[in-house]
Amino acid sequence: MHYFHTRLKVLILALCSASLLLSGCQREQPTPQAQSESNTASSAASSAAPITPVPDPAYYWVELGPDNLTLARAIMLNNNCPAITVDGTSFPMQPRGTASPPGFSAITVCEYPLPAATGSAAINQLPLALPSAAPTRIVVLGDTGCRVKGSDIQDCTGQGTGEKWEFAEVAASVAAVKPDLILHVGDYHYREYGSCDSNCIQANIGYTWTSWQADFFAPAQTILQTTPWLFVRGNHEDCGRAWKGWFYLLDPQPLASDPWQQTNCPDYTDPYQVMLGSQQVIMMDTAVIPDDYAADPNPAAVTRYAGEFNTVEAMSSGQASTWLATHRPIWAVASFTDSSGNPAIAATDLTLQQAIAQSNTTQLPNPPVDTLLTGHIHLFEMLDFDDNRPTQLVFGGGATELDPGITDQLLQDNPSVLNELGITRQQLQVLHNISFGVLEKMPDSCGWTVNVMAKQGQSIDSFKIGC
């Protein structure tokens, strides 16, 4: 649940393909500033492979945002934003902000808001995937990066000794599904600090563009180009971690003034709604919860989130069906390793639960809020309730190191966990797999079929949500 700036760097980036960035294409050493940010050591990469040029834009996609915003984004390896062709007419894309954040000067992020009635759009003759007015197949995934945090080192390249990182395989399986939309529920960046495995590139560790590229953009390149996205901020993108990359690369909202000063990083951003035909999704930022899992939640955080739940109530009023998409689950079983190295479990999230209890309605109104789509816990969970709470789905097994399995024995040994959540064992479904969800609209119904898919793309469970 748990992170150059010369022309030479641009030339090097242009020579390294997305896949080679993960497997050993050499780079110049980071500047002292980048070294400070990434806590980097010397590169341990040694593999040699044919060099394939990276196109410019290196990455491009369409994402949805507040106020029915459809936003085209492009990551350029030079300082110039390209033109975008919209329905045959050319328009200049604009740089995102007046300057790149520290550690990102090798790239320029460009954007252009697409009109609602756009029929076609392209950047440098590369066609953009435009959103469906009413998507019927939606992929949900979360917690996708490769963990490098001190001594906790995942196998990022397939050549190391930790748990193998398989986001590229997940992304290929997502592409095969051909979704109308992809919803990522947060935690893209996991390469924070420490020494990576023997075949990894040390410059890819830290809160810089090379790390973001290796952790998310390179393996997700195809599905970024072929499918529109919704992005949720995770706790790995909070103001103590990978926030610069989040706000520069993925956040759909305009940048604040002087955005790269640490003191200007917003701990909280306001909820917003996205209409997908008759299905509404409310996007809620739960990246920051001080003293999470504490017995007594932080009062200021409870008050803040209570206000956000009031906003959720107002946004959902009058809607037929609403999903609440956020990073942290409101009701779930967290699994972890205790101080003695043994598997342990706990109920979560008390801060959000108390915030709901202090909101205007003291509950999430169901209907219309019938489903919670979250991540944060590194496995899949579904919780159903006898009372008026919406179904809780956790899609946190997107590729990062899995949390310890939640066994029947652990649940029997810790009966207070299910009691605190107000459920029985039969109301908790847990899958300890690298996985993602495929939500398919049921014909002539407001309900959806949910297929939980393994990394290879086969269904491992299926059920229905909604009315």
pLDDT in tens, 252-292: 999 998 999 999 999 999 999 999 999 999 999 999 999 88
Which residues have CB under 8 Å from 419's CB, separation 6+? none
Task: Please check whether residue 154 is in contact with residue 162, taking contact to mean a CB–CB distance below 8 angstroms.
Answer: yes
Alpha helix positions (H), 320-406: 350-357
Query: What amino acid occupies position 319?
Result: Q
> Rg (Cα) of the chain, in Å, rounded?
21
Which residues have CB under 8 Å from 156's CB, separation 6+? 22, 146, 148, 165, 191, 196, 197, 200, 204, 214
Please provide residue 344's backbone torsions phi and psi, each rounded to the nearest 5 degrees.
-145, 160
SS3 state of residue 354: helix
Q: What DSSP designation does 255 have?
A: P
Residue 413: enclosing H or E segment and its boundaries? Answer: helix 408-413
**pLDDT tens, position by position, 53-96:** 456 899 999 999 999 899 999 999 988 999 999 999 999 999 99
CATH number for the domain formed by residue range(s) 137-465: 3.60.21.10
**pLDDT tens, position by position, 136-190:** 999 999 999 999 999 889 999 888 888 999 999 999 999 999 999 999 999 999 9
350-357 and 299-316 helices, crossing angle to 10°:
60
Per-residue burial over 416-434, b if 16 or more Cβ lie within 10 Å, else e, is: ebbebbebeeeebebbbbb
Residue 279: enclosing H or E segment and its boundaries? Answer: strand 279-284
Which residues have CB under 8 Å from 7's CB, separation 6+? none
**pLDDT tens, position by position, 383-423:** 999 999 999 999 999 999 999 999 999 999 999 999 999 99
